[in-house]
Structure 1
Amino acid sequence: MELRTTAYQPWAISTFGIFLLRQFFRSIPDEIIHAARLDGLGEFEIIWRIMIPMTTPALAAFGIFSIVAHWNDLFWPLIAVRSAEISTPALGILLFRDDEAGQFLGPLMAGAVIIVAPLLIAFLIAQRRFIDGLAATTMK
């Protein structure tokens, strides 16, 4: 019988994400919200049609930070994961070591390159949104 630990996930709420989006929402001028209310938009419409499209740089930056953090996560999967098939890439590298034959650095480094390559490609694709999101949250 396999032990399942999917009931509690410590990364379900991100304090970094809350702070990042709070700072981004504070940087949006109040005049935009007041103009939307004068145009007859309700609160939900203001959020859906104005605020969410304006926050795409911050959401992209948070998405990249979140993906990188969970991709490199080692300690929680080390506690919760019981099989090698569902391990994270960082835990997979740890399991890839061969204690009987020694540590061959060539295959370990090749595995590390394979793990880093998707993150690097995703960053290069989303680089503009990433930098826009970081710059917009620091300026007011």
Structure 2
Amino acid sequence: MAVDTAPRPTREVAPQPSSRAPRSGMVGSSRGGRWWLYLVLTVALVAVVAPFVWMVLGSFKGEGELRQVPPTWWPQSASLDNYTQLFSKLNFGQYFYNSIVVAVVVTAGNLIFCSMLGYAFAMLDFKGKRPLFLAVMATLMIPGVVTFVPLFVLVANAGLINSLPGLFLPFLVSPFGVFLMRQFILGLPRDLLDAGRVDGAGELRIFWRIILPLCGPALATLGILTFLGSWNNFLWPLVVGQTEDKYTLPVALALYSTGQNSTNYGLLLAGATVVILPILVVFLVFQKRFIEGIATTGLK
């Protein structure tokens, strides 16, 4: 019996249009309907950036041009006199050194101690863990002005007035940093800790070798926020630092840009521009980690 091996014709099936495919008219209308959102974001961006642009441009103006009405955006006769006065007449190097030391030590202390406390509250079980964490969270609701005088009395009794340790020791740990690190570490798998304990590693080794390397985004977020707050701190260095050699940059600029009868706005704007530069550098370097930390912390 013969077998028919000739290929049979196949019937082509026309593709059916998908009901999920977006229509061009709907896409265009959705984009066109968001014009108000782009407008609001543009206005907000201009409102945020405009003062910084005016500050930088104003640092190249003379005192007369800064005081004239109506004010000008672009300098009519740009000069570096304000920066020359800032670096020559003021002991800028000493003030910059004090600010760097205080900000770096405070940031390093928060990164180490807050991460340790966050690890303990997140992964360890001990008696009184919940009340202690509630006490830490309760301190977030206490204004800093309330604890300012008691903190100053403690520092004075310890003999740390008018010293760099007196400027950074009270701020080596922050309750917000503890909360931030605890929330991030809660999202890490506990199997990593169990594997480390099976291999004979202690808690300190588990923290340094396993937990801390995984906390990069949270550490970057905490570091940027802590450095920013310490670098711009004004009231505490003003009270504790009582001689010129212990002034930080914000204190020195506020004291020396304000004369007996008037304020030297050109010098103040030039100093503010210089003060902001380290903060911008730190943020640009850790920008990616900072965004990751804000996006992932507290998901659990």
Scaled by the length of structure 2, the TM-score of the pair is 0.42
Say whether the 8 Å CA contact 1:72–1:88 is kept in structure 2.
no
2:265 corresponds to which of 80, 90, 105: 105
Specify the code of the residue in structure 2 equivalent to 1:97. Answer: S
Query: Secondary structure at 2:171's aligned position in 1?
Result: coil
Distance 1:4 1:48, change over 3 A: closer
Aligned to 2:223: 63
Counterpart-to-counterpart distance in 1, 2:200 and 2:293: 29
Query: Secondary structure at 1:102's aligned position in 2?
Result: coil
Q: Which consecutive unaligned segments of at least 5 residues does structure 1 have?
A: none
Once the two structures are superposed, residues 81-140 of structure 1 have per-residue CA deviations (whole angstroms, 9 ceiling, x without a partner) of: 112232122212211223236212122111101100110111001111111222221323
Say whether the 8 Å CA contact 2:221–2:293 is kept in structure 1.
yes
Percent identical among aligned pairs is 37
Aligned to 1:33: 193
Distance 1:43 1:117, change over 3 A: same
Aligned to 1:127: 287
Higher relative contact order structure (alpha carbons within 8 Å, sequence separation ≥ 6): 1
Counterpart-to-counterpart distance in 2, 1:99 and 1:40: 65
Q: Which consecutive unaligned segments of at least 5 residues does structure 2 have?
A: 1-158
Once the two structures are superposed, residues 48-70 of structure 1 have per-residue CA deviations (whole angstroms, 9 ceiling, x without a partner) of: 21101011221221111111111
Aligned to 1:85: 245
Distance 1:55 1:107, change over 3 A: same
Once the two structures are superposed, residues 19-55 of structure 1 have per-residue CA deviations (whole angstroms, 9 ceiling, x without a partner) of: 1111111111222222333444333332121101011
Counterpart-to-counterpart distance in 1, 2:267 and 2:172: 34
Counterpart-to-counterpart distance in 1, 2:241 and 2:200: 51
Counterpart-to-counterpart distance in 2, 1:4 and 1:46: 36
Counterpart-to-counterpart distance in 2, 1:114 and 1:44: 40
Counterpart-to-counterpart distance in 2, 1:137 and 1:30: 17
Counterpart-to-counterpart distance in 1, 2:296 and 2:290: 10
Say whether the 8 Å CA contact 1:84–1:95 is kept in structure 2.
no
Quote the RMSD (CA, aligned, Å).
Answer: 2.1
Query: Secondary structure at 2:217's aligned position in 1?
Result: helix
1:75 and 2:270 are equivalent in the alignment: no
Counterpart-to-counterpart distance in 1, 2:252 and 2:197: 52
Specify the code of the residue in structure 2 equivalent to 1:111. Answer: G
Counterpart-to-counterpart distance in 2, 1:13 and 1:138: 20
Distance 1:36 1:107, change over 3 A: same
